[in-house]
Structure 1
């Protein structure tokens, strides 16, 4: 089953310094018809104004993956971690038994991010934060694992039965991705438009694929893709 989510059907949020769209309902925002995909239950498309951001706040028992689309995000937490993640790279926070953190745009331009929340496969673990660069050239024409719960080499580890992938396609490029039985996929182009299993998906729109053995993708324009494949919830 394939579910296309046009931009007009996504939830919207405007709070002064923060504007965003919600691919899944959260905190009273978002379209209640958009149910989770496997263990993936939050995908927020946020724009943060310069020199603003999320103040210190808590999380527990959630895997939070932040994909920076434009600009940069600066993370700081009560474990003493601090880091700046720039466009094209990701940071991962395994909240475990509990962590308090802030995320700010310390830049002079807006920062645009995808923030992805995945249910963990273990609870109350040690909280962990990590980040690393992922050169876009390595993703040319193919999907590369950025975060993984399956010990995938070079990917940031997460405590979840899921993986996050990135790809860059030029106009006319084709690629594919197998989806293991018992797993579902959710794909969002950061920029550009693609055809996935016969369905056209434009920038920042979402595509959920359940009971589909593979994704067959063709780029209609230069495109940057973010993909989550998750085990189905039981």
Structure 2
């Protein structure tokens, strides 16, 4: 089963230096229908103007991922990490028992990145940080495995049963993804435009445009871009679980 979530059903905020699309309730945007999806607590599509950013602030008990789409993200934290991330790089912070951080755009162009908060499977773990550049092994028209659980095979490993993939797919090329039994997925059309068809209900096809999303439940979907497209797909357990162990 697939359910489209168009951009018009998401929250929008613009306070000058940052413009955001909120897939789920966040800060002043509250939508009881979209408080979360599985273990996804926050998914923001942020655009930050040059010489702006988030000053030092704390986080606790959250797995936080930032995926750079365009521009440069400058990161600093209380663990002593100081990094500059560029297009197609991802950073991971396991906030655990507590971490403070700051994120800025010190570049000359707007910074666009996806900020993803995932509920962890254990509480008060040791804070951790890592970053990874996926442009080094990026190939068009296929899924790139970015994030897995601690026992998984992705370069970035988090404290939760979740798998995250991205793909750059050319116009008129097809790509598919199978969401197995008792699993669910969330597909984000970062840019471009595509048709997505349910394999289990071949009469059900939806059109995704830039910043639209799609909820997928136990289905094998076929994605057919009609423009060059960039996707993010988050796959997880669909059975209610105890978040903290």
Distance in 1 between residues matched to 2:104 and 2:226, nearest whole Å: 34
Distance in 1 between residues matched to 2:30 and 2:163, nearest whole Å: 24
Rg: which structure is higher? 2
- Alignment match, 2:160: 160
Contact 1:167 1:225 (C-alpha < 8 Å) held by counterparts: yes
Contact 1:75 1:104 (C-alpha < 8 Å) held by counterparts: yes
1:228 pairs, out of 227, 231, 234, with 234
Structure 1 consecutive aligned stretches of length 4 or more whose deviation exceeds 6 Å = none
- Alignment match, 2:29: 29
- Alignment match, 2:100: 100
Alpha-carbon offset, residue 27 of structure 1: 2.1
1:171-190 alignment, distance < 5 Å: 171-190=171-190
- Post-superposition Cα deviations, 1:93-135, rounded to whole Å, max 9, x if no partner, equal 1111110000000101110111011111111111011101102
- Alignment match, 2:117: 117
Moved more, 34-43 or 107-116: 34-43
- Post-superposition Cα deviations, 1:23-42, rounded to whole Å, max 9, x if no partner, equal 01122315432242211121
- Post-superposition Cα deviations, 1:205-227, rounded to whole Å, max 9, x if no partner, equal 111112x3322211111111111
Structure 1 unpaired stretches of 5+: none
Matched, 1:205 2:212: yes
* SS of residue in 2 equivalent to 1:180: coil
Matched, 1:130 2:130: yes
- Alignment match, 1:74: 74
Alpha-carbon offset, residue 168 of structure 1: 1.0
Contact 2:148 2:154 (C-alpha < 8 Å) held by counterparts: no
* SS of residue in 1 equivalent to 2:134: coil
**TM-score, reference length from structure 2:** 0.90
Matched, 1:54 2:61: no
Residue-pair matches, total: 233
**TM-score, reference length from structure 1:** 0.94
Structure 2 unpaired stretches of 5+: 198-204
Matched, 1:219 2:228: no
